[in-house]
């Protein structure tokens, strides 16, 4: 029994080692990880081919070319991105980020590059004409943004409430469908969205004018900041920066939604949507499957280990198992994901790649559930079985392994299948830490084409297909084992 446990622990250690180990490739040119907002057009948005474009994105690309560095882009919600910089998980953020005095205490900003201000937008049918019409109403703002701070600041004075969204598009949608009466957003972004077909109108003048800047953690990434500024100077001087801005904001500027406005709902079928977004969907699906598979296998190993610990004669082992299960079953998965991806690196200064953080989250969370039903399964084998085996002279470990566990395994297989399906669904939570899996892919596609119903239906169907396949596979395995 003990040997068995040791090898199991070694296996878990090995598996965790493999996923935690950061690839130690040292390239000649430095490579930085840079975060951006998932969708903040015209500054950043994903194109049909899954590429990131927009003023910030094109600017970053040109600067990196001029300054000889490469970068890996990690798009996530603005709020998570800001935290990821502070945790040292990414080196910098370019996300239409406003340079504010408060942020200056934790960020160093590059040369200010775009002047902005905050406006309020309402539904075209709304009779709200200004801030003073907001009494008793609820407005929408984006978590962690300057717009949200502004809304909160004036909410008392004008007597309204604020709800928060993680991405701009969901926020616009909430106003468009009438859940909230107004959205607070940066003027250039709001104006651009409206021009591209978002069904809202701006009713206030820009307030709280501020400049956008490239941000790095304070005193932590001077080298990157220097390069960014030097490159920015060059692209301003040679006219590239102006060209980029014109590309998106000039007359006939790039229409990121590709005629979404006149793509009336009945013209695009779901099938068209699938075809149009084929590669993005495929990538998202593959990421979801990767997370699920790696997560399930490692969580199963960890969970079985916890389950066995939970039925060991040693009180300490049982106590340990119960405590671990108690903690990780009790924590919401989103909190756990943020704790691992943002919290721990904040403390240790050591980066954890998002995928690794995601897998660890799955192992701890799903593993706790697995641990609970595994030990439950073993415990539910009639105690007489163990006693009979022991009285026949079998030592405890052998009696467990040969008599109790084989019966317990049969009891717990259905729970395993259930847990596999839950794991697949839970991976969607990991979109919050910037993993572009299937759910996040859906968010990105909607930001482009505004077809909320069709896109979410398509994503839902994709999940169902995969879940059906997984269920078939599990049933097939179950029959073999029984």
Shortest reach from residue 98's CB to ligand GLN, in Å: 4
Q: Which CB atom, from 102 or from 251, has the smaller least distance to ligand GLN?
A: 102
CA gap 137, 178 in Å, rounded: 11
Does 183 help bind ligand GLN (rule: CB under 6 A)?
no
Does 187 help bind ligand GLN (rule: CB under 6 A)?
no
Q: Pairing between strand 114-122 and 207-212? A: antiparallel
CA distances from 347 to 332, 341, 436 (A): 21, 11, 25
Q: Which positions from 25 to 64 touch ligand GLN by CB under 6 A, shown as an x/- string?
A: ------------x--x------------------------
Q: Enumerate residues 444-473 that contact ligand GLN by CB under 6 A.
A: none
CA gap 375, 378 in Å, rounded: 5
Angle formed at CA 409 by CA 403 and CA 413, multiple of 5 degrees: 165
CA distances from 175 to 165, 193, 218, 224, 442 (A): 11, 13, 36, 39, 20
Does 96 help bind ligand GLN (rule: CB under 6 A)?
yes
Size of residue set near ligand GLN by CB under 6 A: 11
Measured in whole angstroms, the distance separating CA 382 from the mean position of its chain's CA atoms is 44
Shortest reach from residue 401's CB to ligand GLN, in Å: 56
Does 98 help bind ligand GLN (rule: CB under 6 A)?
yes
Does 95 help bind ligand GLN (rule: CB under 6 A)?
yes
Within a 10 A sphere around the Cβ of 373, how many other Cβ atoms?
20
Shortest reach from residue 428's CB to ligand GLN, in Å: 22
How would you class 203 by CB atoms within 10 Å of its CB: exposed for 0-12, middle for 13-18, buried for 19 or more?
middle
Q: Which CB atom, from 97 or from 244, has the smaller least distance to ligand GLN?
A: 97
Does 142 help bind ligand GLN (rule: CB under 6 A)?
yes
Does 374 help bind ligand GLN (rule: CB under 6 A)?
no
Within a 10 A sphere around the Cβ of 393, how many other Cβ atoms?
8
Q: What is the CA radius of gyration of the chain?
A: 26
- Binding piece for ligand GLN, criterion CB under 6 A, among 58-66, 141-149, 299-307, 335-343: 141-149
Measured in whole angstroms, the distance separating CA 306 from the mean position of its chain's CA atoms is 28
Does 151 help bind ligand GLN (rule: CB under 6 A)?
no
Shortest reach from residue 142's CB to ligand GLN, in Å: 5
Does 186 help bind ligand GLN (rule: CB under 6 A)?
yes
Joined together, the tokens standing for residue 32 give 């930085």
Does 91 help bind ligand GLN (rule: CB under 6 A)?
no
- Name the site residues for ligand GLN (rule: CB under 6 A): 37, 40, 78, 95-98, 142, 145-146, 186
């Amino acid at each position: 029994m003990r040997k068995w446990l040791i090898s199991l622990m070694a296996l878990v250690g090995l598996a965790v080692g493999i996923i935690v180990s950061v690839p130690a490739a040292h390239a000649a040119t430095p490579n930085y990880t840079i975060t951006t907002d998932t969708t903040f057009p015209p500054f950043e948005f994903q194109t049909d081919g899954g590429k990131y474009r927009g003023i910030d994105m094109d600017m970053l690309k040109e600067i990196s070319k001029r300054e000889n560095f490469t970068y890996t882009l990690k798009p996530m919600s603005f709020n998570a991105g800001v935290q990821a910089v502070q945790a040292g998980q990414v080196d910098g953020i370019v996300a239409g980020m406003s340079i504010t005095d408060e942020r200056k205490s934790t960020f160093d900003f590059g040369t200010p590059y775009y002047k902005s201000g905050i406006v309020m937008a309402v539904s075209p049918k709304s009779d709200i004409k200004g801030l003073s019409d907001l009494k008793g109403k609820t407005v929408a703002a984006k978590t962690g943004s300057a717009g949200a701070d502004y809304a909160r600041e004036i909410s008392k004075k004008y007597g309204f409430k604020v709800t928060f969204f993680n991405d701009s598009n969901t926020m616009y949608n909430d106003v468009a469908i009438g859940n909230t009466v107004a959205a607070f957003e940066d003027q250039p972004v709001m104006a651009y969205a409206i021009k591209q077909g978002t069904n809202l109108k701006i009713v206030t003048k820009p307030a709280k004018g501020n400049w956008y800047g490239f941000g790095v953690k304070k005193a932590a990434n001077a080298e990157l900041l220097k390069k960014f500024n030097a490159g920015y100077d060059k692209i301003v001087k040679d006219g590239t920066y102006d060209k980029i801005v014109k590309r998106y904001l000039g007359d006939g500027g790039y229409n990121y939604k590709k005629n979404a406005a006149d793509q009336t709902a009945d013209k695009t079928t779901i099938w068209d949507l699938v075809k149009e977004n084929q590669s993005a969907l495929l990538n998202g699906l593959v990421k979801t499957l990767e997370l699920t598979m790696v997560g399930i296998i490692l969580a199963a190993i960890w969970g079985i280990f916890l389950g066995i610990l939970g039925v060991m004669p040693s009180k300490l082992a049982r106590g340990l198992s119960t405590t671990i299960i108690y903690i990780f079953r009790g924590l919401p998965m989103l909190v756990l994901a943020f704790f691992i991806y943002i919290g721990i690196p904040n403390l240790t200064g050591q980066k954890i790649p998002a995928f690794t953080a995601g897998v660890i989250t799955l192992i701890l969370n799903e593993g706790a559930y697995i641990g609970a039903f595994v030990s439950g399964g073993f415990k539910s084998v009639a105690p007489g079985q163990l006693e009979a085996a022991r009285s026949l002279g079998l030592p405890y470990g052998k009696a467990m392994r040969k008599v109790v566990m084989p019966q317990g395994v049969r009891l717990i297989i259905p729970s395993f299948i259930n847990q596999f399906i839950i794991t697949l669904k839970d991976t969607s939570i990991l979109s919050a830490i910037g993993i572009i899996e299937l759910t996040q892919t859906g968010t990105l596609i909607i930001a482009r084409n505004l077809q909320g119903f069709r896109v979410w239906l398509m994503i839902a169907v994709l999940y169902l297909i995969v879940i059906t396949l997984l269920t078939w596979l599990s049933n097939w395995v179950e029959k073999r084992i029984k």
